[in-house]
Amino acid sequence: MERYLNLHDVIAVADFMESVIDFLAEKDRKPYQQFIDAVHAKEHVSRERLAEAAKNIGAVTWPARRALLQFITTVGSELEWEAILEQTRPATALLLKRLRQSAGTTTLDETLKTTDAQYAIGPDQEVEITMLRDEVRYHLWETHREAMDLMIEEMLVELQAIKKRLKRLREQATKSDALTRDRLLDTLERFEDRLYFGGDLLPLELLDAEITLDAEESEGLQGNE
């Protein structure tokens, strides 16, 4: 499974931090901004400290990022659609309208995932939509922040439950034999990559199932030795 973020690539890590820093309150941005500025200035930055900072900012912004996604896929979907049409080039806007009409979709996400869209949207238009979409989403975050307060609270509860389960599974892994421990810790790192950097929502039952499978496979490998 390919990771969302290569923690050995300091430029990529700094870019990730920069992409989510606006979800933080102004007063909380300084330590992360210092890392970003140092990387851009090509100063020496400890990769371990940078990775830890990226993980921290990924965690503290996760509830807000998930809330924004939930907002955009529900009550805010039409707001996103209208803003994209307004800001894209006329030809791109017309193409999106036609794709939506022919597919009978209701959101931008649904429209972009249709087979017709994958063939009709050119590389330059794809870049255009992607870049504008980031701007539109931040604008929606700034202008409809209060509408997401309840969603943020719900996502914070979700995050705490996931972090608690990850901690328990990590403790379980460290008590295992070397082969099992390494497999479990690698799996947990991949889950954390999806969670903090990819912004994914990880069902607790999925965590348990994957860890159980890894443990069973490790036991099988040991039995075959």
Q: Per-residue DSSP letters for 112-138?
A: HTSHHHHHHS-HHHHHHHHHHHHHHHH
Same domain, 21 and 67: yes
pLDDT of amino acid 219: 55
- From 72, 104, 108, select the one nearest 92 (Cα to Cα): 108
Beta strands in the chain (DSSP E): none
- Among candidate residues 143, 171, 188, the one where a domain is terminated: 143
- Among candidate residues 125, 143, 161, the one where a domain is terminated: 143
- Among candidate residues 89, 108, 143, the one where a domain is terminated: 143
Same domain, 151 and 138: no
Same domain, 45 and 153: yes
Same domain, 25 and 126: no
CB neighbour list of residue 16: distance below 8 Å, 6 or more residues apart: 5, 54, 58, 197
Same domain, 198 and 105: no
pLDDT of amino acid 213: 66
pLDDT of amino acid 218: 57
Same domain, 20 and 37: yes
pLDDT of amino acid 177: 76
Query: Residues of the chain whose pLDDT is less than 70?
Result: 1, 211, 213-225
Same domain, 195 and 95: no
pLDDT of amino acid 220: 52
Same domain, 219 and 157: yes
CA-only gyration radius of the chain, Å: 21
Same domain, 85 and 134: yes
Domain range for 88 is 77-143
Same domain, 131 and 98: yes
pLDDT of amino acid 173: 80
Rounded to a whole number of angstroms, the distance between the first and last alpha carbons of the chain is: 26
Question: How many domains does one find in the chain?
Answer: 2
- From 73, 86, 203, 189, select the one nearest 136 (Cα to Cα): 86
pLDDT of amino acid 203: 82
The answer to whether residue 4 sits within a structural domain is: no
pLDDT of amino acid 70: 93
- Residue owning tokens 């994209």: 84
Same domain, 111 and 91: yes
Task: Kindly report the length of the chain.
Answer: 225
The answer to whether residue 2 sits within a structural domain is: no
Same domain, 151 and 219: yes
The answer to whether residue 193 sits within a structural domain is: yes
Distance CA(136)–CA(218), nearest Å, equals 46
- The 10 Å CB-count burial string (b at 16+, else e) for 145-175 is eeebeebbeebbebbeebeebbeebbeebee
